[in-house]
A = this chain, B = another copy of it.
Amino acid sequence: MPAESRPDPDPPAPGADASGDPWARLDFDRARRTGDPEVVFGSGKTPDQVVQLLTELHAAHPGRAVLATRLDEATRALVAERLPAASVDPVARTATLGPMPTPSGTVAVIAAGTSDQDVAAEVAVTVACFGSRVQRINDVGVAGIHRLLDAKPEFDSADALVVVAGMEGALPSVVAGLTGTPLVAVPTSVGYGASFGGLSALLAMLNSCAPGVVVTNIDGGFTAGVHAARIARTAHHPEETR
A interface with B by C-beta (< 8 Å) = 1, 4-6, 21-25, 27, 30, 33-36, 39, 43-45, 49, 70, 89, 92, 103, 109, 112-115, 117, 121, 124-125, 128, 133-136, 138-145, 147, 149, 159, 167-170, 173-174, 176-184, 187, 189-220, 222-224, 226-227, 230-231, 234-238, 241
Q: Which residue of B lies closest to A160 (CB)?
A: B231
Q: Are A209 and B136 in contact (CB under 8 A)?
A: no
Q: Are B145 and A25 in contact (CB under 8 A)?
A: no
Least CB distance from A238 to B in Å reads: 8
Q: Which residue of B lies closest to A105 (CB)?
A: B236
Report Cα–Cα, A191/B173, bound state, in Å: 15
Least CB distance from A196 to B in Å reads: 7
Q: List the B side residues contacting A34 at CB < 8 Å.
A: 179-180
Q: Are A200 and B193 in contact (CB under 8 A)?
A: no
Least CB distance from A40 to B in Å reads: 10
Set B49, B167, B235: member contacting A207, Cβ < 8 A: B167
* Contact of A23 with B138 at beta-carbon distance under 8 Å, contacts A36-B180, A200-B207 already known: yes
9 closest A-B pairs by CB: A193-B218, A34-B180, A44-B115, A170-B170, A212-B226, A143-B177, A200-B203, A143-B210, A5-B136
Report Cα–Cα, A27/B144, bound state, in Å: 8
Max count, chain B CB within 10 A of own CB: residue among A117, A195, A214: A214
Report Cα–Cα, A39/B211, bound state, in Å: 9
Q: Are B5 and A135 in contact (CB under 8 A)?
A: yes
* Contact of A133 with B212 at beta-carbon distance under 8 Å, contacts A204-B200, A207-B201, A237-B236 already known: no
Least CB distance from A93 to B in Å reads: 12
Q: Are B217 and A207 in contact (CB under 8 A)?
A: yes
Q: Are A206 and B200 in contact (CB under 8 A)?
A: yes
Q: Are A208 and B168 in contact (CB under 8 A)?
A: yes
Q: Could you list 12 examples of A-B contacts with CB < 8 Å?
A: A142-B174, A142-B177, A143-B211, A192-B217, A193-B218, A200-B203, A206-B220, A207-B217, A213-B223, A214-B224, A235-B235, A236-B236
Least CB distance from A104 to B in Å reads: 9
Q: List the B side residues contacting A128 at CB < 8 Å.
A: 1, 4
